[in-house]
Structure 1
Amino acid sequence: MMKKIILVAAAVLALNVLAACGKTGDQNHAGGNNHAGHGASSGQPNDERPVGEKGAEEMDHGRGHGGHGSNAKPTAENLQASFAFPAGAAKANEETELTIQVKDKDGNPVNQYDVNHEKWLHLIMVNHDLSFFSHIHPEFKGDGTFTVNTSFPAGGEYKVFADFIPTGGANTTLSEWVKVEGEEGTHTAIVADANLVKEVDGKKIELSMSAAKPKEDVTLTFNIRDAKTKKGINDLQPYLGAVGHVVILSEDAKQYLHVHPIDEKATGPEAKFATSFPQSGTFKIWGQFQHNGEVFTVPFVVNVK
């Protein structure tokens, strides 16, 4: 009799346990459906995402920037550029090849660049008194090297600026003074223009500045008109993907600014550029525009104080 009682009690206990387990299972199943609904967009729970594969992809992407093995972003501080001529120095009024090589701080060539206004590298060249200005575009040859054929109008020192964006980095400018053999031209003092109106290639260009103080936002407005008819030119053509480009240098060529327009798709007669002068002093401004298939350059000298 006692054995029967024990067996009945055990059976009742087992039934209760099974019922409880059935209820718990239903709750988990409902919760499982909700969880699946939250993760439906990815097709798998968040904690099952292959983070290892994603991390490796990001690391490879970082290594590819700048064409070298460092994970650090390429900046002017960890990049260097050399400028060289085949004979060691250029000669005045003779065409020569200029080679620019960009390397990282470890000496590895930088081979990846972002297109910056249709070009990988903009080369700006000026002489010691800023009376000569050239804006050209070397061709990439690989191994961190660009080359371009150019010439210089007189002997003396010229400063060359390589302006580019290494992939993964910011806009970078590296520069150097180079020697050109031959008779030097007459040195002209850099003096601010009495009025900011110039005539170039049959066009009358007036420059107005919203301010002329250091470290303040300033808008440069170029008003471009036909020199004869005085009518505004409203059919400027894109130059390097924009209505125009502006390069600004301090008189000692230590401060360099390459300024792009506020409205790149503007067609004139006004072209506006936003910038800020880094310090007081005398600055030379070159505006470059294109009309009827011809690029024209207009220079201005201003005092910032």
Structure 2
Amino acid sequence: MGTNKRSRLLLPGLLALALLAACGKSGETRHASGHEGHDGGHTTGTSGLEASFSFAAGHAAANEKSELVIRITDRQGNPVERYEENHEKLLHLIVVDHRLAYFNHLHPEYRGNGEFAVATTFPEGGSYKVFADFVPEGGSNETIGEWLTVEGKEAAHTELKADKRLVRAVDGIEVELALGEPKAGEDTKLVFTIRDDKTKEGVDDLEPYLGAAGHVVILSADAERYLHVHPTDEKGTGPTAEFSTSFPRGGVYKIWGQFQHEGRVITAGFVVTVGEI
């Protein structure tokens, strides 16, 4: 067989292998929260919008108040200047540490020209993931996440394990979660029951929190898959609050339910295992 003929036979095979490799790489890096970025860089969301997260002082240290700046731009690098209110806010910022032990739900102030800012304090050093959850004017909901580093002593890494009992007591309120045996890709109902921690009587006077009976944030153990879920009855007042969602993949997830009672926001976290179909 001549050299030219052999080359013509090999070329299609090599091109096919290259295409397969490229597709595999894209599938590994694309997540529900966008592409993972680096400290101070840009992270691209599913619609092509970009978000950059940076500290105004150039760095942040544990137990010190720091200003976090979020800038939203389009594909050409132009600032996205207009946003629609999403549950009473222009942008929801979720902050978690690398262990998913720390959780904070913040609402940065919009300064205009695509820039938001908020002052916050990180309890320990190490890696934190921040998620900007917003709706650009005329667009759909977008969530973009990125890892940031905070100076200071970092807590030891621990494996996230499913809770044996899905009950939490927070500030005198008991929150219980029921969700059956969830499986990836299937509709799952999350039912929270809120009670007085001492009397065990149901709390039926929940107050609206950001315009709804409650909010739920869900993260996979590696913080790469993000879900923000709202109640099926947004005007409910307890003692139960139902949410419906679908987990994108099997594995371990942490679920935070947030409810407001007597002016206080109650946040209860639960770790669950989601099975494969």
User: Which amino acid is 1:78 matched to?
Assistant: G
* Pairing partner for 2:234 from 233, 242, 264: 264
CA distance in 2, matches of 1:270, 1:203: 13
* Pairing partner for 1:252 from 222, 241, 245: 222
1:238 paired residue number: 208
Pick the structure with more helix per residue: 1
Shift of 1:186: 2.8
* Pairing partner for 1:189 from 136, 144, 159: 159
* Pairing partner for 1:219 from 180, 183, 189: 189
1:137 matched to 2:110? The reply is: no
User: Which amino acid is 1:97 matched to?
Assistant: E
For residues 130-169 of structure 1, the aligned pairs below 5 Å read: 130-169=100-139
1:91 matched to 2:61? The reply is: yes
Is the Cα contact below 8 Å between 1:113 and 1:165 reproduced in 2?
A: yes
Is the Cα contact below 8 Å between 1:83 and 1:100 reproduced in 2?
A: yes
Is the Cα contact below 8 Å between 2:47 and 2:142 reproduced in 1?
A: no
CA distance in 2, matches of 1:76, 1:169: 12
For residues 52-67 of structure 1, the aligned pairs below 5 Å read: none
Is the Cα contact below 8 Å between 1:211 and 1:217 reproduced in 2?
A: no
TM-score normalised by structure 2 residue count:
0.82
CA distance in 1, matches of 2:191, 2:157: 30
2:7 paired residue number: none
Pick the structure with more strand per residue: 2
Is the Cα contact below 8 Å between 1:131 and 1:188 reproduced in 2?
A: no
CA distance in 2, matches of 1:238, 1:76: 30
Shift of 1:197: 1.2
User: Which amino acid is 1:300 matched to?
Assistant: F
1:119 matched to 2:114? The reply is: no
Bigger drift between 84-93 and 228-237 goes to 84-93
2:255 paired residue number: 285
Q: Which has the higher contact order (CA 8 A, sep 6+)?
A: 2
Q: Structure 2 unaligned segments of length 5 or more: list them.
A: 1-44
User: Which runs of 4 or more aligned residues in structure 1 lie more than 4 Å from their structure 2 counterparts after TM superposition?
Assistant: none
Shift of 1:210: 4.1
CA distance in 1, matches of 2:138, 2:149: 33
Is the Cα contact below 8 Å between 2:192 and 2:241 reproduced in 1?
A: yes
CA distance in 1, matches of 2:226, 2:207: 26
TM-score normalised by structure 1 residue count:
0.75
Aligned residue pairs total 232
1:172 matched to 2:142? The reply is: yes
Q: Which has the larger radius of gyration?
A: 1
Identical-pair percentage: 59
Is the Cα contact below 8 Å between 1:235 and 1:268 reproduced in 2?
A: yes
